[in-house]
C-alpha cells in the first residue's frame, strides 16, 4: 500500500507540472470526443509459465499528456509441473482496475494500473494424480512503460510492458516463489466522436 501512495504522489507531481503548460485545461469542459474505447491482448512468459488474455477498456483523454480510465481483464495462466514443484497449475482470472497514462514525451507513456482479480485455479500433482480446485481474490499494482501512436481524437495503437509492484502471492502476475513476470499488452483505442463539431 505504501508503494501505491508513493506512485500516486509522484504522479500528482507530474500532473501539476504539466498542467501549467496545458492550454485546453483552462476551459475544464467535458468533451465527448475525448472518450475512447479499446482492447489489448496480453502475453506473459517465464520459465515454465505462460499467461494470455484480453483487456477491454474505456477511457478519457484529460489532456494531450494524460489519459485515465477503467480496464477489465480476462486472463489464462499456466505453470508446468517441472518448474512448479511437481504440480501443474492452470488458472483463469477476471477483474477490473483503473488506469492512468502519463505521456512525458510524445508517444511514450508511463502507466499505473491497480487491479482487483478473482482467480479460479486447478492444481494437479503429476506424481500422485491428485487434483484440487480453489477460488481466490487478489489485488495487483501494475506499473509500466509503453509506446503509443497517439493523437487525441484519432484511433491509436499502443504497446506496454508492466510488472506487478505488489507482493500478494495470489496475484496472477506473480509466479512460483514470488518471481515477477513481465506483462506485455498490445492494443488499439478508438475515440468516440461528438455529434456536433
**Domain CATH for 181:** 2.40.160
- Predicted local confidence at residue 174, as pLDDT: 81
- Predicted local confidence at residue 15, as pLDDT: 45
Q: What mean pLDDT is reported for the chain?
A: 83
All three cell numbers of 46, joined, read 517465464
Task: Please tell me the total count of domains within the chain.
Answer: 1
Q: What is the DSSP letter of 180?
A: B
CA 147, 150, 152, 153 torsion-angle sign: negative
- Predicted local confidence at residue 22, as pLDDT: 47
Low-confidence ranges of the chain (pLDDT < 50): 4-8, 11-26, 194-197
Residue 65 placed within a domain: yes
Residue 26 placed within a domain: no
Percent of the chain topping pLDDT 70: 82
- Predicted local confidence at residue 27, as pLDDT: 55
Residue 37 placed within a domain: no
Residue 114 placed within a domain: yes
Q: Which residues contact 186 (CB under 8 A, 6 or more apart)?
A: 40, 41, 157, 158, 159, 160
Residue 179 has phi, psi (to 5 degrees) of: -70, 135
- Predicted local confidence at residue 173, as pLDDT: 81
Strands 49-63 and 131-148: unpaired
Amino acid at each position: 500500500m505504501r508503494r501505491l501512495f508513493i506512485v500516486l504522489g509522484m504522479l500528482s507531481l507530474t500532473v501539476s507540472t504539466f498542467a501549467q503548460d496545458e492550454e485546453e485545461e483552462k476551459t475544464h469542459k467535458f468533451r465527448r470526443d475525448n472518450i475512447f474505447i479499446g482492447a489489448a491482448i496480453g502475453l506473459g512468459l517465464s520459465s515454465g509459465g505462460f499467461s494470455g488474455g484480453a483487456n477491454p477498456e474505456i477511457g478519457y483523454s484529460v489532456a494531450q499528456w494524460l489519459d485515465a480510465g477503467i480496464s477489465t481483464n480476462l486472463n489464462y495462466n499456466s505453470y508446468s509441473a517441472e518448474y512448479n514443484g511437481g504440480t501443474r497449475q492452470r488458472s483463469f482470472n477476471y477483474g477490473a482496475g483503473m488506469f492512468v497514462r502519463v505521456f512525458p514525451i510524445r508517444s511514450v507513456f508511463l502507466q499505473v494500473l491497480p487491479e482487483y482479480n478473482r482467480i479460479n485455479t486447478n492444481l494437479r500433482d503429476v506424481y500422485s494424480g491428485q487434483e484440487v480446485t480453489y477460488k481466490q481474490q487478489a489485488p495487483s499494482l501494475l506499473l509500466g512503460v509503453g509506446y503509443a501512436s497517439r493523437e487525441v481524437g484519432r484511433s491509436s495503437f499502443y504497446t506496454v510492458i508492466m510488472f506487478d509492484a505488489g507482493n500478494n502471492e495470489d496475484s496472477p502476475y506473480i509466479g512460483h516463489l514470488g518471481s515477477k513476470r513481465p506483462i506485455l499488452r498490445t492494443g488499439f483505442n478508438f475515440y468516440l466522436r461528438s455529434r456536433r463539431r
